[in-house]
Structure 1
Amino acid sequence: MPATSKPQQQTIELGEQGNLVLPESIRHHLNLQPGEKLILTLEPDGSLRLTSLRIQIQNLQGIYKDIAPGISLADELIQERRGESQS
């Protein structure tokens, strides 16, 4: 959901086991798949924020793309670790 769009509100019910079911429209809008990992954050004001782990990782990767353009920092780390293990 773009940051400039109006917040969406829907009422959902907490199940007996503490389960929440996200409405299909929300799952579809966020392209959430069954089994996908989500991060639940309790905000200081008592509200809850639910974020897709996959989307959060994509956003973090975007933050660091300018540090080493065209270079995979993960590949460099793997290569470095392999070199250390051979020493």
Structure 2
Amino acid sequence: MLGQQGRLVIPAEVRSALGLSAGDRLHLHLTGRRLVLESSQDAAAELRGLAASVPASRSLVDELLAERRRAAIDE
């Protein structure tokens, strides 16, 4: 249920099944029209999985800097 102040109540049985406790930090994101809640550990594991597919020889920082430099020249 969504409270008047926009707070979402997660039922006790769901919290228990997910191993959630009061004060746990959750990450929220939208997938289409769905709201997804993830524990910090699950969100970090997902990011590590995405990063694992990037070859060690590739520098995402260098690519970002080059992209920003090109954009600055085009302005």
Per the normalisation by structure 1, the TM-score is 0.49
What letter corresponds to residue 35 of structure 2 in structure 1?
L
Tell me by how many angstroms 1:62 deviates: 7.2
Runs (4+) off by over 6 Å: none
Seen in structure 2, the aligned counterparts of structure 1 residues 62 and 29 have a Cα distance that, compared at 3 Å, is: farther
User: Number of residues paired by the alignment?
Assistant: 50
Match of residue 50 from structure 1: 37
Gaps of 5+ in 1: 1-12, 65-87
Match of residue 40 from structure 1: 28
Tell me if 1:31 matches 2:19: yes
C-alpha distance in 2 between matches for 1:17 and 1:53:
24
What letter corresponds to residue 28 of structure 1 in structure 2?
S
Tell me by how many angstroms 1:60 deviates: 4.5
From 20, 26, 46, the equivalent of 2:8 is 20
Higher helix share: 2
Gaps of 5+ in 2: 53-75
Please tell me the root mean square deviation across aligned C-alpha atoms, in Å: 2.0
C-alpha distance in 1 between matches for 2:48 and 2:17:
21
C-alpha distance in 1 between matches for 2:46 and 2:30:
20
Percent identity among equivalent residues?
34
